[in-house]
Chain A
Amino acid sequence: MSDAPTHDADEFEPVDVFETTEMDLRPGADDCYKCSTCDTSCPVAEVDDEFPGPKFQGPEQWRLKRTEGHEIDDSITSCSNCMRCDDACPSSVPLSQMHNTARGEYVENQRFGREALSALADGNLREALDIVREGQDGLVERLRNRILANYHTSAWLASFMPSVANFVMNFGPARWAMAKTMGVTSEREFPEFADQTFREWWAARGGAQVSNPDKRIAYFHGCYSNFNTPEVGKAMVRVYEEFGYEVLVPPQKCSGTPMFANGMLGDARRHAETNVKNLAAAIENGAEIVASCTSCSMALGQEYPELFDLDGIEDVAAHTYEGVEYLRLHEDLEGALDETSVDGSEFAYHAPCHARNQGLDTQAVELFSDLDGVAIEDVGDSCSGISGTYGWKEEKYDYSMEIGEEMFEHMEHAAGETGMTECPTCAMQMEHGTGYEIRHPLELLEEALVTGS
């Protein structure tokens, strides 16, 4: 309540992370009053005693970093970027933004060579050798993270020969080799590649079937519904066309979600440039942006403007919706569902962490509870544990399953034997832990409003 401004403009030390991205998170760090609430909501800290938690990763590290010579602690790579800490902080400290930035900086700074040389100069051969050896391990890990983060590239290659790719990716010896040399866990089955990608389907059907200058959306399908679950993308298109929308499918790249989580901000930025350019053009064209994956809508709506400074990026954020959310706000979705029914199905629904911060975690249950023929049950507010690429890493697999345990149990207890979620990687984890088939809310909407009617 004092008159004094809290932050002196002259004291700002902008931290230059990448090219034009200038960020000063200090006011955020200063907002932390150390209540530790973020720590109690972090799923990784709950199972990994080595992980110091979001309060350290965020505000404390930020303060330390301002004192000279402090390097980002390597525990930052253990944060899965689930963003639960953001939601928990009563003081709106931008925790995940701090983590993303710190992780980017950490990955940039891994320069073991310099340290090895200085050890050599000190005549400490042994230490120099150790540093080099560690560095090599680090290199493999970075390569692995890079491959995981750039899922779209592997998926794109695989899409040319989906059946071969499906075979090779899950072929025992190949998986063993991947685990041994790269640290990709062999406990998980790689997701299957579809015979026809969403974009191939889209082209084959001749693009939009409805044209309507007054009701237009641009679909951001992301990598996963393009390569692995095109049925989600198709459901999205059919439901929107049913409501009379013209669907645009602009050229697009990965949303960047897996890259943020692996500190590859440079890669993410390049993709963001393409996405922002094309999506901004669609907005110009009268469209709103709709994503079927809650991590994609999170990236476009929050992480983009937090991490990058690109022309039109704020505009893209302000026009981005999740697939069901947009319909709920702009159509009488409840009314439409009132008049229809589906053949008896029971679902165990899991709200992805990224849906929470967007206020979408209760949407599916709220909407489908009254739909005739459907029973849907929320399996609780725990994290699924996979958090995109986190659960694919050999060294994280056990933690990932430990985090997921609560969700698996609740799924088993729920009446439904089919799972439901908006997030493709949560879906993988749900299937992996229970063997259930997992559906996307848009698929149920399609069944209720398009194929069923």
Chain B
Amino acid sequence: MAIEDDVCVIGGGLAGMTAALRAAREGARVRLLSHKKSTLRHASGLVDILGYADGELVADPFDALPSLPETHPYRRVGDDAVRAGLSLFDDVTGDAYRGTHTDANALVATHGGTVKPTARYPTRVAPGLASQDRKTLLVGFDSLTAFDAPLAADHLAAAGVPGATRGVTVAFPGDFRADSRVTRSARALDDDETVEIANGSMPVRRALVRAVESHLGDAERIGFPAVLGEEESQEVRNALESALGIDVFEVPMGPPSLLGLGLETLFQEALAEAGVRRTTGNPVVEFDADDGRIRSVSTDRNGRPTPFHADEFVLATGGLVGKGIDSDREGVVEPVFDCHVPHPDDRYEWFDDEAFGDHPFARFGVTVDDDLRPLDAAGGTEYDNLRAAGSVLGGADFAAEKSGSGISLATGHAAGRAAGAAANQ
């Protein structure tokens, strides 16, 4: 009867995928339910643990963890869980990521020309670290307005990065539509397609080298927006490096993000290998519980429910952006299980007067015990077999702290391990 698993994870973001993977490694039969495809394809592909604390840049996140408030998700799960989450990430991503050699934050230049403290970054990005004192040329494409290379270079200079940075804008070789999709140019580079240029035709990689050569000057490295290939990015970069004679790196971009897409693929492969069963396309909207335990959750498709049964459940539906936490006139709610979300009754207390101030609403989310089980208003556990992970948790301001992926990894890991172990009993 019906669909039954040991562990059912709700939410296909980084937290949900991590929890599912960890629970499966515990030997449990795991199902991952997700409304939409993974959110990683929208993300920059960088993995931050903690970039800022109290508005100050953090050099080493592990030094700063103990000073976080008691209610912060990192404090709930502890340093070891943070390390364990990271190590699962390193295991999944292998050669595709860098940053394992140190606890300290790396500084990565973003497409807007800001410098971002981060713990793990794609190998494609690595030669471009902003902390290195090297003369840098940034190249933008006129068809890709999201990255204005001269402007980004100015911003980086203003931010005081070591090493002179210049920016130029060139036309991406070939006759692609003006609003050409990033995947289109990436695939052209993957296959080294022949493209038409002013005086004839040539392979696109060579044409790209031609287009930037004259701008090189004394640059010691050259950065492109992260569109240099989808499946053969290593080969594309190698080809450009040997033709140009200097290091080539990529700058993380906003959505749709090839770096995020690449990370998504790595996690999906790991999930498939671990035997995690995935069902996507429809949201979870209801559940059945008795005796303080969740028995099943149901997805909805145009009014038709589909139930999924399990022994243990993990809630990883995301925060205010991912709709894991929602607000209406009545207040702030967690829409799937209606877990308690503490918030001031007076809406005016949700916001700071300053636009960029410290807004309480950014920390809204479910509160949990040390085992990541959501707590009700009276401080008791909502359900024995429900745990929460990722940005559905309250107590952290992901955007301001730059802690999004780190919290998802740490709490996803902890929730997955606990759920897998509980299901095995």
Chain B CB within 8 A of A241 CB = no
Q: Is the CB–CB distance between B304 and A37 below 8 Å?
A: no
Interface 9-mer from B206-214, B273-281, B403-411, B415-423: B273-281
In the bound assembly, the distance between CA atoms of A52 and B181 in angstroms comes to: 9
Contact with B along A176-191 (1 / 0, CB 8 A): 0000000000000000
Q: Is the CB–CB distance between B303 and A90 below 8 Å?
A: no
Partner of B304, one of A3, A301, A330, A356: A301
Q: Is the CB–CB distance between A1 and B301 below 8 Å?
A: no
Chain B CB within 8 A of A127 CB = no
Partner of B301, one of A37, A89, A301, A332: A301
Residues of chain B within 8 A (CB-CB) of A358 are 281-282, 301
Q: Is the CB–CB distance between B279 and A46 below 8 Å?
A: no
Of all chain A residues, which has the CB nearest B230? A40
Residues of chain A within 8 A (CB-CB) of B175 are 49
A90 smallest CB distance to B (angstroms): 6
Of all chain B residues, which has the CB nearest A35? B255
Of all chain A residues, which has the CB nearest B351? A1
Chain A CB within 8 A of B329 CB = yes
In the bound assembly, the distance between CA atoms of A356 and B187 in angstroms comes to: 24
In the bound assembly, the distance between CA atoms of A330 and B304 in angstroms comes to: 14
Q: Is the CB–CB distance between A359 and B181 below 8 Å?
A: no
Residues of chain A within 8 A (CB-CB) of B42 are 35, 37, 90
Q: A37-B255, A89-B36 are in contact. List 19 more A-B contacts (CB 8 A).
A: A1-B350, A35-B254, A36-B181, A36-B256, A37-B41, A39-B256, A40-B41, A40-B181, A40-B256, A40-B261, A45-B184, A88-B36, A92-B36, A301-B302, A302-B301, A314-B303, A358-B281, A359-B281, A359-B306
Contact with A along B35-54 (1 / 0, CB 8 A): 01101011000000000000
Of all chain A residues, which has the CB nearest B183? A40
Interface residues of B in 174-202 (CB under 8 A from A): 175-177, 179, 181-184, 187
Query: Could you give 24 example pairs across A and B, Cβ below 8 Å?
Result: A3-B347, A35-B42, A35-B255, A36-B255, A39-B181, A40-B181, A40-B183, A45-B184, A49-B184, A56-B179, A87-B281, A90-B42, A301-B304, A314-B303, A320-B304, A321-B304, A328-B2, A331-B1, A358-B281, A358-B282, A358-B301, A359-B279, A359-B282, A359-B306
B238 smallest CB distance to A (angstroms): 24
Contact with B along A101-142 (1 / 0, CB 8 A): 000000000000000000000000000000000000000000
Chain B CB within 8 A of A362 CB = yes
Partner of A35, one of B256, B301, B302: B256
In the bound assembly, the distance between CA atoms of A411 and B277 in angstroms comes to: 22
In the bound assembly, the distance between CA atoms of A317 and B261 in angstroms comes to: 33
Q: Is the CB–CB distance between A305 and B306 below 8 Å?
A: no
Chain A CB within 8 A of B132 CB = no
In the bound assembly, the distance between CA atoms of A328 and B31 in angstroms comes to: 15
In the bound assembly, the distance between CA atoms of A396 and B329 in angstroms comes to: 50
Partner of A366, one of B177, B277, B282, B361: B277
Chain A CB within 8 A of B203 CB = no
Contact with B along A308-322 (1 / 0, CB 8 A): 000000100111110
With A3-B329, A318-B302 in contact, do A329 and B3 touch (Cβ < 8 Å)?
yes
With A1-B350, A362-B279 in contact, do A52 and B179 touch (Cβ < 8 Å)?
yes
Interface residues of A in 311-359 (CB under 8 A from B): 314, 317-321, 325, 328-332, 356-359
With A1-B350, A39-B256 in contact, do A329 and B2 touch (Cβ < 8 Å)?
yes
B296 smallest CB distance to A (angstroms): 11
In the bound assembly, the distance between CA atoms of A318 and B299 in angstroms comes to: 12
Chain B CB within 8 A of A388 CB = no
Contact with A along B360-385 (1 / 0, CB 8 A): 01000000000000000000000000
In the bound assembly, the distance between CA atoms of A49 and B193 in angstroms comes to: 14
In the bound assembly, the distance between CA atoms of A360 and B280 in angstroms comes to: 8
Chain A CB within 8 A of B167 CB = no
Q: Top 3 closest A-B pairs, CB basis?
A: A318-B303, A359-B281, A35-B255
With A314-B303, A330-B1, A359-B306 in contact, do A49 and B176 touch (Cβ < 8 Å)?
yes
Of all chain A residues, which has the CB nearest B282? A359
Residues of chain A within 8 A (CB-CB) of B131 are none
B48 smallest CB distance to A (angstroms): 20
In the bound assembly, the distance between CA atoms of A1 and B320 in angstroms comes to: 10
Q: Is the CB–CB distance between A328 and B3 below 8 Å?
A: yes
Which of B41, B302, B304, B350 is the most central at the interface, judged by chain A CB atoms within 10 Å of its CB? B302
In the bound assembly, the distance between CA atoms of A302 and B254 in angstroms comes to: 32
Chain A CB within 8 A of B307 CB = yes
Q: Is the CB–CB distance between B306 and A329 below 8 Å?
A: yes
Interface residues of B in 8-57 (CB under 8 A from A): 36-37, 39, 41-42
Chain A CB within 8 A of B327 CB = yes
In the bound assembly, the distance between CA atoms of A420 and B37 in angstroms comes to: 24
A352 smallest CB distance to B (angstroms): 13
With A358-B301, A359-B306 in contact, do A332 and B1 touch (Cβ < 8 Å)?
yes
Tally the A-B contacts, defined by beta carbons under 8 Å. 100
Interface residues of B in 197-248 (CB under 8 A from A): none
Residues of chain A within 8 A (CB-CB) of B255 are 35-37
Residues of chain A within 8 A (CB-CB) of B183 are 39-40, 46
In the bound assembly, the distance between CA atoms of A3 and B351 in angstroms comes to: 13
Residues of chain A within 8 A (CB-CB) of B39 are 90
Residues of chain B within 8 A (CB-CB) of A90 are 36, 39, 42
Q: Is the CB–CB distance between A87 and B256 below 8 Å?
A: no
In the bound assembly, the distance between CA atoms of A331 and B327 in angstroms comes to: 39
Chain B CB within 8 A of A53 CB = yes
With A37-B255, A49-B176 in contact, do A317 and B303 touch (Cβ < 8 Å)?
yes
Of all chain B residues, which has the CB nearest A378? B272
Of all chain A residues, which has the CB nearest B180? A49
Interface residues of B in 275-323 (CB under 8 A from A): 277-282, 299, 301-304, 306-307, 320
Q: Is the CB–CB distance between A87 and B37 below 8 Å?
A: yes
A230 smallest CB distance to B (angstroms): 28
Q: Is the CB–CB distance between A52 and B277 below 8 Å?
A: no
In the bound assembly, the distance between CA atoms of A356 and B34 in angstroms comes to: 12
In the bound assembly, the distance between CA atoms of A92 and B300 in angstroms comes to: 14
Residues of chain B within 8 A (CB-CB) of A89 are 36
Contact with B along A1-21 (1 / 0, CB 8 A): 101000000000000000000
A312 smallest CB distance to B (angstroms): 13
Residues of chain A within 8 A (CB-CB) of B256 are 35-37, 39-40
Of all chain A residues, which has the CB nearest B260? A37
With A39-B256, A87-B37, A90-B36 in contact, do A329 and B307 touch (Cβ < 8 Å)?
yes
A99 smallest CB distance to B (angstroms): 17
Residues of chain B within 8 A (CB-CB) of A319 are 304
In the bound assembly, the distance between CA atoms of A53 and B179 in angstroms comes to: 10
Contact with A along B316-344 (1 / 0, CB 8 A): 00001000000101000000000000000
Of all chain A residues, which has the CB nearest B300? A318
Contact with B along A29-63 (1 / 0, CB 8 A): 00000011101100001100100110010000000
With A45-B181, A52-B177, A302-B302 in contact, do A1 and B361 touch (Cβ < 8 Å)?
yes
In the bound assembly, the distance between CA atoms of A105 and B347 in angstroms comes to: 45
Of all chain A residues, which has the CB nearest B254? A35
Q: Is the CB–CB distance between A359 and B327 below 8 Å?
A: no
Of all chain B residues, which has the CB nearest A90? B36
Of all chain A residues, which has the CB nearest B275? A369
Residues of chain A within 8 A (CB-CB) of B179 are 52, 56
Residues of chain B within 8 A (CB-CB) of A360 are 281
B299 smallest CB distance to A (angstroms): 7
Of all chain A residues, which has the CB nearest B328? A1
B175 smallest CB distance to A (angstroms): 8
Which of A1, A49, A314, A332 is the most central at the interface, judged by chain B CB atoms within 10 Å of its CB? A1
A294 smallest CB distance to B (angstroms): 12
B42 smallest CB distance to A (angstroms): 6
